[in-house]
Amino acid sequence: LTFLYFSKVANLFLQFAKDNNYDFYPLFIYSIVRVINSNYLYRMDFNEAGELGYYESSVPFYSIFDSRTELFSNIDTPDAYTFAEFDRDYLSDVKKYRGTGKLFPKQPVPKNVVNISMIPWVNYTGFNLNINNNDNYLLPIVTAGRFERAGDEIKLPVTFQIHHAVCDGYHTSQFFIKLQDILNNVDEL
């Protein structure tokens, strides 16, 4: 499902990042994790014995881009109590792991992840990313694209993919409602 955020809410979110000297991407990652950790259905998975359950919390597992080599790496940064703490740890991890040439430079990769990426080079109306290509992959995948300005409004494409076995349309809509609420109240992060 793809959803486009519109108007002044996105403007407020971007303005908050600018006013506080934050990059948008870690603020977006932190917001996504807040949403994912608000509902156990977004954290459901099978354990090694094949039993269905859910993680107490999820960790952001996100892509970082090395513009020199044009390669991506995927790393995690443990969730923190405040955005300022997360941003500090995010910046440290990116500095340490960007440019390694490895797909997964930070080991071990946690099992309780929410997959997050951003493709700021394109705007889109639909996007589908397959991870693990396995019918039992239940963890969420969130992707955002390029901002698009239309007058005084800003659009941001955001895609939320989750297995239908754990979430239906109602729960998917709740993801976007909660994310919209965080965008509306970004100063509370």
**Alpha helices (runs of H) in the chain, residue ranges in sequence order:** 7-19, 24-36, 83-97, 169-184
Q: Is residue 163 annotated as a catalytic residue, yes or no? A: no
Q: Which of 8, 18, 96, 164 is catalytic?
A: 164
Place of tokens 């603020």: 27
The four Cα atoms 137, 169, 175, 98 give a dihedral, to 10 degrees, of 30
CA distance 78 to 59: 6
CA distance 131 to 111: 13
Question: Could you count the other beta carbons within 10 Å of the beta carbon of residue 179?
Answer: 22
| Cβ–Cβ < 8 Å for 45, 36 | no
Active centre residues (catalytic): 164
